[in-house]
Amino acid sequence: GAGVSQSPSNKVTEKGKDVELRCDPISGHTALYWYRQSLGQGLEFLIYFQGNSAPDKSGLPSDRFSAERTGGSVSTLTIQRTQQEDSAVYLCASSLASNSHEAFFGQGTRLTVV
Amino acid sequence: AQSVTQLGSHVSVSEGALVLLRCNYSSSVPPYLFWYVQYPNQGLQLLLKYTTGATLVKGINGFEAEFKKSETSFHLTKPSAHMSDAAEYFCAVSEKGKTSYDKVIFGPGTSLSVIP
């Protein structure tokens, strides 16, 4: 596709349910990032993929959070047993391999846990 | 580990006035530095970046930033603010010289308001 695509754009879920957030990066981009943006907050790094590998998972807030990437393309961020504090906008970005390159961002998924 | 601070979570300027958004970083190796802008209800887009070479970098929409190693700063400026510049601005850093397996770290952001 022309840009980074994230789905769904909005998700409302009940506390305790599991959710899956999807990211389709730009074709050919080997690096993929997940960030979380809470209301009035900056961008919190969650996880980084290079190809299908995740060299850095240090930002995942708890073991309820996991992510995978298959075929060096699509990535899924899964949040198990959602809590209200998980409510935020989850942003995905992709870039060419080197960290000197521009990261292209999707529009984000707005997650609301009620 | 690298980190980014942005002085002032909110900045207001009058239309036509100078815009100055501050960014300081810490990095154990020479950095790559970026400024991104986020307009309301939109994703982030790159304004400009510094990788190597000239320390004064020009970006889109009349913005520029200067890498000052001695001050560990990468402040963003624009000579004359326009109403359309109202947005959230994020400074970001990644570390040069390591493997490409490294993350980009973002600052907390500065919200810019432009007063007519």
**Structure-block tokens of residue B35:** 């400024």
Question: Is residue A76's pLDDT more than 90?
Answer: yes
Quick one: average pLDDT of B7-27? Answer: 95
CB A88 within 8 A of CB A38: yes
Question: Is residue A54's pLDDT more than 70?
Answer: yes
pLDDT score of A23:
97
* DSSP single-letter state for residue B13: E
Chain A touched by B43 (CB under 8 Å): yes
Query: Phi-psi bin for A51: left (phi > 0), alpha (psi -120 to 50), beta?
Result: left
Chain A touched by B60 (CB under 8 Å): no
**Percentage of chain B exceeding pLDDT 70:** 93
Q: How many Cα atoms sit within 13 Å of B80 on the Cβ side?
A: 1
Q: Do A42 and B96 touch (CB under 8 A)?
A: no
Match 């963003």 to its residue by tokens: B76
Q: How far is CA B93 from CA A14, A29, A58, A66, B33, in A?
A: 36, 19, 17, 25, 5
CB B6 within 8 A of CB B23: yes
In Å, how far is B51's CA from the nearest CA of chain A?
6
List alpha helices for chain A, DSSP H. Answer: none
Contacting residues of A for B45, CB less than 8 Å apart: 105
pLDDT score of A72:
84
Residue type, A3: G
